[in-house]
Structure 1
Amino acid sequence: MKQRTFLTTLTLFLIFFNLGIFIVSVAMFKDTVSRAEERSLSEHYFIVSALTKDFYAVENRGINIEGSISSLLQPYSYLSGNSKMGLALYENDQLVYSNQNATILKGNPLTPPEDGNRSVIIRKSDNKTYVIVAGELPDDYNSYILVYLYDVTDAINAWCRLKNILFLSGFILSLLFALGLLLILNRIFQPLKQISQTSREIANGAYGTRLRVSGHDELSKMAQNFNHMAEEIQHQITELKDAADKKQQFVDNFAHEILTPLTAIYGYAEYMEKAALSEDDRLLALQYIMSESRRLQTIAFQLMELANLQNNSVIFEEIKVPDLFDSIKQTLFVKLEGKDIQLVFQRKIDTIYGDVSLLESLLINLINNAIKACGESGHITVRAIQESGMKIITVQDDGKGMTPEVLSQITEPFYRGEKSRSRNDGGAGLGLAICKQITSVHHAELSFTSQPGKGTKVKITFTISQQFNDNSIIRLPYTVSCDQVK
């Protein structure tokens, strides 16, 4: 593209520039010839007028004109004082007088127009150029034709030299223009070249490559837009790669997760088939098979719950906070029996909006994880408050807490910070993944803060609040925050 732009621009410049020089040269030539013709006509008119008077004067004295022509014309050659001027006089097409500069007319006479006007021609002879004016004398002497010659060779040569200088200067200027145009195009197309090179590098996998931005012109804006596009592409590719890695990790974890119960089920079934077992051994094997089957069933149910949360919409309704807390107490009563764990509910708001079953499942899951973290003793506080016009629910414990490494991955499916404990509890590592999906369908964000030995805080912030009124949904900002230990 740069080469085509260079050749096209240079060609157009050369055409118009040289055309301009040609037009100027032609105009100068015409001006030179025109001035020479005007001078020749003026001189011719002056000599004809003076010569006519002389002819009258000679005739009045009774002298023959034919014998006095040379003496009458001689002074005009001297008066001109110009060696470039020539005079010739014809009588009835016969040359009767000529000075040395008019010798080119010998054998080649000029005939003026029959209408009595004067004729002007340009003639070349012996590498010289002449302006020749021919015209008859007045009526009484119209048998005579006076021819005036003016040598314009020097003027024409001066014009030729000036024309050559103009074209030589035009050639030099064309070279300078071509060089300047090439430098300008290189500068203009440099960003495009960089964009092309950067695009190739990005296409080859160097997603962090960026253009250098300088200045505030259109090219710098284009570079900024390109960099923004590259950043978005890099961001999208990173997200796609992370999503692919998470999917692969999910598949790997799922395969690993179901391998253990399937191995146990198959092993005990094969043992019962091939070995002679007592009734007690057979019942023990069946218990292991049932236990591992329940684990597979739990995984299947939780995966179905995740799929339903991702594919189905949530119907929001008004939820009474006291009723929600009472239902959670009843559900966790058996879980807390025999443990020295204090579960305290505090509220300063009366209602929230959402799906009661999902929010109850969310809070039970978070409190249940907090109970596991506290062990046989501890303190768990659930609060429902309002801050800065936003509704907040918090769940806080003083359990074991989590390290930053565990904290960054606890919402990933099948991830367990303490694998042995989770398997003993029958967990599949899907609880907090479900919690995250519940908060997502409620237009919320799930966040965790924790320190080992000091407990854990999980915060769910609803970026869009829903207010239920006459079976319609009005969205208002509110926040739900939960503190939890997994």
Structure 2
Amino acid sequence: MKLSWKVFFSTLIITILTFSIGGYFLISAVFQSALNRESSSALEENKMLRSYFGAVIPTSTSEEQSKASMVNISESIISHFTNDKLSIRISDDEQNIIAQSDDVRFDVNLLKQLEDNSLLYKTIEYNGRYYIQTASILQTFSGKVYIETIHDISSIFTDRQNLFSSYRKFIFCMLVVNGLLVFLMTLWTLSPLKRLSNTTREIAKGKYSDRVAIQTKDEIGLLAEDFNKMADSLETKILDLEATTISQRDFIGSFAHEVKTPLTSIIGYADMLRSKRMSEENRILAADYIFNEGKRLEVLSLKLLDLLVVKNHEFEMKEINMKELFNNIKGIMEPTIKGSNILLEISAEDIQIRVEEDLIKTLIINLIDNGRKAIQGSGIINLTGKRISDERFIIIVKDNGKGMTENELSRITEMFYMVDKSRVRDKGVGIGLSLCKEIVELHGGEMNFESQVDIGTSVYLDLRG
């Protein structure tokens, strides 16, 4: 059973019990008070009749005159005081009836309980009606006289019955009205919990930014506030976890992507050493390329881990010669572009630049490799470098490949985005330029593209160093 129904039924039951028990005791108290008043009135009435009878009865007459006088006085009292609600019976010392107003049944057991100068009463039921019977003793010259009255109090019992009947109707009406009010109040009170439950379901579906809009200051409001704090903390942890996952994914993809070119160079030079006769100088040069690329792979993994996962941008910058850097890159790319009818031309000023050597090599090699992929037949890739100020230099990578549209240019640095596969030489996974962007930002620079379809693409690297 839902909490709202539990609150509804429990409140309704408590209300019914409270009003029912309270009403019962209230009506009973009113009835008892009315009964006590009638009892007191009946006793006073009996006392008055006893006093009046004692005042008018003669004290010194013969026995026959006394009996006759008692009968006359008794009949006079009965005729004078009897009405619709009051009946009187007067009995002699032997409890023989002297006079009686009507045929109402008097309880003879009440007289047996009487003592001298005592006054008793009891409530009796006769023919579906209720009466208060009173009895007292009057000591006369000729003996005891029993005076009894019986007072009709059926109206009190009828009133009590009517009150109970009316109260039952009142309880029923109150049950309907109270039930409606309790139902509405329950819905209003528990509606924040329903919103809280709905928000919980939405968060469970992955909408971590959803929050509970509850402004009350009661316990439910405090619960909602604590829930929102918990949701904030949970969202932060999930976003951090997602960011970590993305960083790890980027690292794995980028590392796999960056390993390809060095491995191609290593395999190419190794194949040359294995399958061709070479001079001692060329053999040493090939072995040197293999050794250097192997060492670069070793440190490149750690640097990519720092750059993409740890987000560490504090790399040690060293001064290197631009011309020597370009020549080294040309040697690395030679096994990759060999046999593809593509010419790599380099032009660099003989200057010193301050960069992170392994990452700047990765940046330039990525751009050259992208140019190679864009050339479907024979073509030329130009690599140019020069200083433009005391603190900045520019590197340009230009190809005469298929080029890109404006829409493709606006998205090429997005992770895993690839241009139209029909216009590139090899398939990729769309990671290279995203990594290039990170490296350019590390060097405090900008990377800009110019491209025309079927004419070619130029990449401008404006770097600090």
TM-score, scaled relative to structure 2: 0.66
Change (3 A) 1:300 1:231: closer
- Alignment-mate amino acid for residue 194 of structure 1: R
Instruction: Give the superposition deviation at 1:107.
Output: 6.8
SS in 1 for 2:156: helix
Q: How many pairs does the alignment contain?
A: 377
Amino acid at match of 2:274: E
Amino acid at match of 1:173: M
Post-superposition shift, 1:302? Answer: 3.7
Q: 1:407 to 1:89 in 2, by over 3 A?
A: same
User: For residue 295 of structure 1, what is the amino acid of its counterpart?
Assistant: R
Q: Is the 8 A contact 1:134 1:148 kept in 2?
A: yes
Superposed displacement of residue 276, structure 1: 4.4
Deviations 1:388-434 (A, max 9, x none): xxxxxxxxx48589x9989999xxxx987598xx8xxxxx977977x
Alignment match, 1:36: 38
Aligned-pair CA distance for 1:40:
0.4
TM-superposition CA deviations, 1:166-195 (whole Å, max 9, x none): 232123213322222122111111111221
Assess if the C-alpha contact under 8 Å between 1:123 and 1:131 holds in 2. Answer: yes
| Cα 1:375–1:80 shift into 2, 3 Å | farther
2:386 counterpart of 1:376:
yes
SS in 2 for 1:200: helix
Residues 1:168 and 2:169 are matched in the alignment: yes
Task: State the partner residue of 2:28.
Answer: 26
Please state how far the C-alpha of 1:204 moved relative to its aligned partner. Answer: 2.2
Q: Which moved more, 1:296-305 or 1:21-30?
A: 296-305
Tell me, in whole angstroms, the C-alpha distance in 2 between the residues paired with 1:227 and 1:69. 98
Gaps (5+ residues) in structure 2? 325-347, 365-382, 397-408, 416-429, 450-461
Partner of 1:55: 57
Q: Deviations over 1:137-171 (max 9, x none)?
A: 13656521111110101222122111221232123
Question: Which range is displaced more, 257-266 or 123-132?
Answer: 257-266
- CA–CA distance in 2 between the matches of 1:60 and 1:240? 124
Q: 2:38, 2:153 within 8 Å by CA — same for their partners in 1?
A: yes
Given that 1:365 and 1:431 are in contact with CA atoms closer than 8 Å, whether structure 2 keeps it comes out as no
Change (3 A) 1:112 1:134: farther
Q: How big is the shift at 1:50? A: 0.5
Q: TM-score, normalized by length of structure 1?
A: 0.64
1:40–1:150: 8 Å Cα contact kept in structure 2? yes
Q: Any idea what the Cα deviations from partners look like across 1:217-237, whole Å, max 9, x if unmatched?
A: 554554454344334433332
Q: Which residue of 2 aligns with 1:154?
A: 155
The alignment status of 1:6 with 2:8, answered yes or no, reads yes
Shift of 1:39: 0.9
RMSD: 4.4
Q: 1: distance between equivalents of 2:78 and 2:384?
A: 135
In the TM superposition, residue 253 of structure 1 has moved relative to its aligned partner by: 0.8
What percent identity do the matched residue pairs reach? Answer: 21
- Superposed, which structure 2 residues align to 1:16-415 within 5 Å? 16-56=18-58, 59=60, 64-80=65-81, 82-101=83-102, 103-105=104-106, 110-114=111-115, 116-138=117-139, 140=141, 143-213=144-214, 219-220=220-221, 222-279=223-280, 282-299=283-300, 302=303, 332=319, 375-380=385-390, 397=392
CA distance in 2 between counterparts of 1:270 and 1:400 reads 32
The amino acid that maps onto 1:205 is G
Q: Tell me: CA distance 1:249–1:286, structure 2 relative to 1, closer, same or farther (3 Å).
A: same
Query: Which ranges of structure 1 fall in alignment gaps of 5 or more residues?
Result: 315-327, 344-362, 382-396, 423-427, 436-447, 454-482
- For residues 366-396 of structure 1, the C-alpha deviation after alignment (integer angstroms, 9 at most, x for no partner) is 9x98xx9994222245xxxxxxxxxxxxxxx
Asked if the contact 1:268–1:289 (Cα under 8 Å) also holds between the matched residues in 2, the reply is yes
